[in-house]
Every structure is written in C-alpha cells, then in structure tokens.
Structure 1
C-alpha cells in the first residue's frame, strides 16, 4: 500500500512517505497515545524481512515456536501433576493441536491480521483452560508462562489493543488460580509460594507491552529517516525503500493487468524565487507543491522529493487517469499567489506492474521528455511541459 503525506496508508500503517513524527522530541505520554492507536505491526515486519530475504527464515522460526509449545504442553501433561478432571486430557490435546496447526500455517503464506487474532483468542482459551484444569495449582500458575510466549507473537504481529486484551485474560486466569490455591491449600501456601511465583510470571507477561512499545518507537524512528523533513513526503531513501517493497510484494503476491505511471516535477526558475522572495518563501512553495501533489494523486500514489526543487510521483493507475491528475496538479500549482510558480513535468506510463527496473526506464523516458520540452521553450499555461508514454 502506498503512502500519503500524513504518513498513513488507508490501513493505518506508517510507511516511507510519512510525515516525520519527531519521536525523539515528543513527550512519552503522546507517544504512548499514538502507539495505542497504531496498526498492524505484522505487515511492516513482513515487508522488512521480505526486502532482505529473511521472510522464510522468520516464518520457519514461528513454525518451530508453535511446535515447541505443543511439545511443551504434551511433556508437562506426561511428567507433571495429575490433571484435575476427565476433561483435562481433551484440553491438553486441543493445546497440542493448536500448536501443530500454528506450525503448519507458517509453512504457507504469512498469516493475516485476522488469523493472528484468531490464534490469540484460541490460545488464550486453551492455555487458560489448561492452567485451571491442573490439580496442582502451583503447576497451573507456572503454566502462565505460555501466555508470555503468545504475548511475543502479539507484540511482533498484532496491535496494542490485542495485547491489552491478551494481558487482561492472563491476569484474570492468574487471579482465579490464586483464589483456588488459597481455598484449597490455605493462606500460608498462597502467600509463601503462590503469590511470589505469580508475581514473577505476571512481571514477564506485563513486560511484553513495554517491549512492544520500544519496538514501535524504534520502528517509527527508522521510518522517519525515509521522509523529507521539509515537505513531509518521501525522500530519495524512502523512494528506494518503496521500490524494494514493491519488488518484494510482487514475489509474494504477483499482480497482473496493473498499469503504472511516473511523473517528474521540476519547479521552474526556483533559484529566482529564492533570490527574489527569500528562502523562507522558497521552502513554503516546495511544501505547497508537495501538498498539491499529495491531494491530487491521492493515497494510491507515492510522492517523493528527490532534489532541491524536484519531485517524483509514482502512481499505480492507468494512463488516462495519471495524465489527468498531472494536468490538475500543474494547474493548481500555477494558481499559487505570491510567489507565483510553475512546474515542468515529464510523464511516462506502462501497462504493467511497477518494479524497480521498470521505474528506472520510466524515469529516464520522463526525464528526456521534460527536458526536450524545456529546450523548445514552449509556453506552459497548465505547467505541463511534456508527456511521454512507455
């Protein structure tokens, strides 16, 4: 999904074209509030690993984790305390089945957010039931550690709200276990053995949201390095990152029948604007250009500032719509009040999905078209100097 200048795709995820958030300069309270509203972490992690060729390795690690959990539950049931009720064996086998199915699921495409949430729901129910079924309540409290393993999955692949629900379920199960322990074995055992052990287990589980928050802060800081601090659109590094992500997505989810377009935008006589009106006015003009491009091309396009007065627009749309947007943007820019500016553009489109190699070809053609028009010196009433079709 491409980005908007505000930094969010319509999935709510931060990406290369985002407005810098200034994480390091903001109060922690504001960061926590923003983090609590953040979206799917799994998508970002999936794309990050795919761009570096780590996707299958991480998937196999997750599959191995599910298998290890299944074996741990089975081992605990065999060598641990006797289960309290006849239904306990059924619960045990359900836990084992969930772990095995989770391992098998990771051998295919990465699970989506609904599947992750489904795993957490089933996992919370089965782990909670398994802990409560033990006749030895201390062993049941020790089983809370399985909630921590599930919490790691939530921290990496889901949202803070899911983590909050998961942590609440963990706390409820632990409180019930402590109540049962006190009723069955007395206050002395509860205070001397149960509560210290429960405190240790809960500290591990409660620490996971802190880890998830720290992970989000570091990721957001990394995303900020992909943005142009003046205009808020992607910088050159963000553009390269975006193209790498497109290549990675094309391997995982091949697309056919998709068109694309690239537009180069060059602010005419920008040095004159700076010399006449001052650098502050020049900066404001660049910001307005970025605003117009973002508004006209919409959330389905990436806008990047690749030079002092140069922008690139990448759209995954057909030729006719792309040209119409280009003309509309140029007219809107030329309508600016003082300082009045115009832009020259070069356009190249292709009737195939965009890739890094195709992008290079389109940029070269768009660049040649724009400078041929500049050389002819023709008037540009709408600011569009040239168009070219790949």
Structure 2
C-alpha cells in the first residue's frame, strides 16, 4: 500500500487547550508510529511551519475569538498548505471555518474524515436557552457536513445522536488515555485518605472520624460550556448539608471570577492551570473523587485520566462521560446541584482500595493503541475512485 499522508486540521487549539488537543496529538503520533506522514494545521499568533518527530506543524496567523482561542478566518491559506503537502486524506476537527476542507478534498480525489468532538445541538441549546431554535439549525449544518465528508467519526453513543437523519456515514471510535503518565503510583504525599472509614462518615453527627476532609477535584476549562458551575454548585450543596470536604478546581477560563463568586464561603479552592500532564496526573491521583459533570461532554478524556490514576469519578447521568464509568468505579446523578451532590455522597460512602483498583482496571481498557488502529483503518478506506464516487 502507498504511503499515507494524513493532514489534521483544527481550530480552537491553544496553549491551555484540553481534551481535543490531547486527542489530536495522540492520534497524530500514532499515525507516525504506523508509518504515515502527518501534517497538523492550527491557528496561531503568527505564520510558522516546524517539522519534528511529531511531523509537520503549521500555524496560520489567526485572530483571537476569546482570551484563549484563535480561529482561522481564511481557510484558503490552509488549503495552500495542504496543496504543498499533498495528503491522501484529511481529518478535520472543526465544524466552522475549516469544514470547507471536505469540499476541497472531494474536488481533488482526497479522502476526508470529520472528527466530531462536540455535540452542537445540545451546546447551541444551552447558549440559546432553547432547543426549539437550535435543533433545526444544527440539523441543517450536519446534513451539509455529512455530504461533504466521506465519514464522520464520533466517540460515543451520545455523540452520534445529533447525526440522526443526516445520512452521515458514522464510525464510532472511543478515545484512549496515556496509561504511563496517568497512573496511581504517584509520588509520596498523593495517598488518598479513604482507605479507612468512609470519608463522609459522621456528616451531621459531630466531628468526622478521619484524618482530613474528603478531597474532590475538577480539572478542566473554566468556561460555561464545560459546566464547571455545576461542580461548584454541587460543592455548595454539600457545604449546606454540612459535609466535610474540599473541592480543588484546576484550570483557567473566562468564567473564573464568576465561579469564585458562586463558591461563596464553601471550601472551594481555585488552584489555577496545570501546565504539564504529569502535574495533572499527580493531583488526580491525590484526590478521593474527580468531578466530570458536564451533561454535554461527547466523550470525557478527563474521566479516563482520573480512572487511570485510580481515582473514581462522578458524572452527570447523560452525555458521553456517563458511558465511560461503571458502578464499580464511579457514580452519576442528574445534572443539577442536588443530583451531583447525592452522587458524591453515594460514592464517598463506599470508597475503598477495591474501588480505586476497579478504576485503574477499567481505564486500562482504553489505551491509545485501539483508537489509533481504528483511525488508521478509516483513513486507509477514506479514498475516492477515479470516477469521483466514494468507496465504502
């Protein structure tokens, strides 16, 4: 088989990006490991092309659309780079300005894959406070995207829901986790306190019988679409109930000050952005419970990272993150403050070494070799016949 030349394109990838950036880079390194050539096109503060062991990374000068993110507003400049690279297939992780790469690829007999990292119908419904107006707009957009791309990759059953009725050729590819970086055996001082009595034992009955408060953590972007406000609201509810705990919020974003105000006098600490993956692993391994509560998360890499560190997770009872945990390694609740607080209390009441072992064991089912192999297969098949018809 001829050499595969895979071009990945994405907007909204910056220094403080989270799950999508991790997924793109892990897949890209995997493609290289399988012998393919790889180019990544992303927005940046200036035009810059570098080549390293991670392949070719091309940054296109693009304006900021928020304090953290940039968006390429002239897709033709990305197409000029693609023409020089001559890809055999393109993988687009953007439904906005770069989505026209599907048409670009079709006109040149190049395979095309749209990687659906977000569920736009639910996100738009949250922004507009109405599903009535958001759903038809997103359905129309998705029908166009389904026509333009050979295949659409989703990461969960929840993520696939928005493509119903679009004629998209869907492929479900759950993502993976770096099991070497995210692991339970972190440095001294990271041991959890729950290996004795229940961390919430004695709540409301006088002084709790444990060495320190229950340690909760949230690691993610402080922006409303990620629902950090739900984690804070649940912690405030626990505080109202008299629970002995601390919630540590790791990350930065536009809603940080609003979240500080929302926290009030509850034991919630905003510890800032963690620049390294090893540092994220350390704080996850040192926590008793991780909160990944967004009901619109299409997958939830943060869930897998916590589980890989042996830390059980509380999620909402809907969304892709819910699909990643079982009752052996987590709990889920309705996406409101009482529902998440109830789930935390249920999980805290049964924390022991067995739960931590179950969390790590479950995460080990999601190493990156599987999604990389599946995506390589998809890229190999995402070709066009000489007559310009898709091969399935």
Q: Highest relative contact order (Cα 8 Å, sep 6+), 1 or 2?
A: 1
Question: Would you tell me which structure has more helix in proportion to its own residues?
Answer: 1
Question: Would you tell me which structure has more strand in proportion to its own residues?
Answer: 2
Structure with bigger gyration radius: 1
